[in-house]
Structure 1
Amino acid sequence: MSRHDTVTDELTDAAASAPQESEIRELPLAKALNAGLRKALEDDDRVLLMGEDIGPLGGVFRVTEHLQRDFGPKRVMDTPLAESGIVGAAIGLAMRGYRPVCEIQFDGFIFPAFDQITTQLAKMTARHHGAISMPVVIRVPYGGHIGAVEHHQESPEAYFAHTAGLRLVSPSTPHDAYWMIQEAIQSDDPVLFFEPKSRYWHKGPVDLASNPAELHSSKIVRTGSDVTLVGHGAMVNVLMQAAEIAAGEGTSVEVVDLRSLSPIDYVPILESVRKTGRVVVASEAPGFVSIPSEIAATITEHAFYSLEAPVLRVSGFDTPFPPAKLERAYLPDADRVLEAVDRALAY
């Protein structure tokens, strides 16, 4: 039995049901996504899933497991290995009133669809002066920590955050994954949904009946008074580890989960920075012209007089993603975050 099958069908079935009152389940992030997709398929006949191997196989990471069995091949469609064709077909389906959800099998495979996403999908609504909406979701498993080869561990978020007309989000917890995928599907704008693949099989509580957060909102997930740490996706777990270690050394660290990368909700970030006066922004992607770069610039513009130290960034290195044996040296970990925290406190 593979690790993908360690969660029982009973848990999946429980997550699939539509509860009438608060119902908490402990689910891995992948199963929470599966439950969220199932709920979206149940609630709206216009929702379609499409991608490579998402049907009988259930996707490489089993996120779509059993969905074709339960909803049929006309709503959960295996496609050819052609990312540009997948997104192009989704654009046409959206123009006909459907709400397609595309899966890009791995982050590095999104680039054959780059032209469709950035020159067609992102601009279609503006091109038609708002007369056409593009309710397309593109699911992108991204990031490292899985020991894979080239093109399977990249973090291409910044390319798409730079493109006007696209929305980008990234959950860090199973609860957020369950609710954010449904909210993304309900959006009339195209949403790139970046899923931290290294967190797929980490469990967490999911409230299947209640979700107080909006899709494009950041939130403080740990309170502190000395330094603010900001990140998204799998990096949030690294920041929480760093905060726990720092607490043992007498430093109080606040952690902000971005959740949304475009647009970014700066209100909790700026409120935190005005309280702590020091901030470290972290991501797995290379640091040059990155999302942390944009956040650092915005903090400097809007909270300059609250800063006790420069805004510091921790990121992957400005090189192609290395072979799997070197990924630990490449990816930011708690030690690199804590080194930045020490630098911020030294000013």
Structure 2
Amino acid sequence: PEAKQSSPVEATQAKPLNVVGGVLLHEGQALFMFQGTDRGAQGYANAVNTWVELVAKKRPGMTSTVVVTPTSSHFYLPPAARAKTTSEPKNLAAMRAALLPEVRFADVVTEMEGHQDEALFFKSDHHWTGLGAYYAYRAWARANGVTPLELSAFSKRSVPGVAGSFWSLTQAPELRNADKESYYYVPTTVTFDGTQYAGPQQKTPMPQPFFAEKSRGYIVFLGGDIPLLVSNTSAGTGRTALVVKNSYGNAFAPYLLPHFDRVVVLDYRYVSRNIQDIVDTFGVTDLVFVNATITANSGAHQERMRQVARGSSTAWLTEAEKRRLKQQEDAAGKTQASAAVSDKAQ
């Protein structure tokens, strides 16, 4: 009898998964192997609820909206890998169920479905693209009864891409040049500026555009992870949004510019200025929480969010500060080593 030949589909399914550091390398793209739990989802909801209790409920009329996106894995994981991960939509459903009734929930998954053939996420990085963030903006708009602008209301531009975080983790050669460009969409219906607040108390204004058009890759959005960034616009709506985010919020925040007179972007990891002061100083009327499932399920991120809501001034070190301290430590180590050699020589 003739030997049975494997079909191409069976051969693909039988091929062992190439997982490096919790990341699956598949067809030229890196995909995170999501392991979130209901408990993790409920922890994020608890962090948001803390903000509602301590910030929103003190100010009548303030709205709160959660915008949490799935990772690229939800859309692109091969069937053989799904049994080794947990469901992101189920995780988001558990999160939604644990939020206070007044919190609005943006259904990002539903808005992204059907657009999988578009570049929603970078292939070599864990972030979404400017286009992926656009669909999340549409989900935010629907959750708030707002008519979202079409992409034609934005000017599509690009900067050179970079090899992202997944490439740094895996060093997979197929990821090295997987993201050749980073596209971003600039609102054309409003004028807007940008100011970051720096200094020891994060109260010293410094110019900082919402689009760092001389940069590369994901840094084009807001210029990176700035603790406190504000844009005043010509929208004329009488409202101010406070975007409480980690890096996933960088690509999302610019889409709010046409809908608010002021958009305040707060990176909960690095902000140290008192939250009540920020809300009162800038006249915040709407809270928008932006995250991805991978960090929303992190206990460390959840606790940091609660700390900021409670008024903690202790922030995480920024990556730039970590590099500066590392350079100082390395320089000090070299100085000590040189001194030791000199002592021995004498």
TM-score (norm 1): 0.30
TM-score by length of structure 2 reads 0.30
Higher relative contact order (CA 8 A, sep 6+): 2
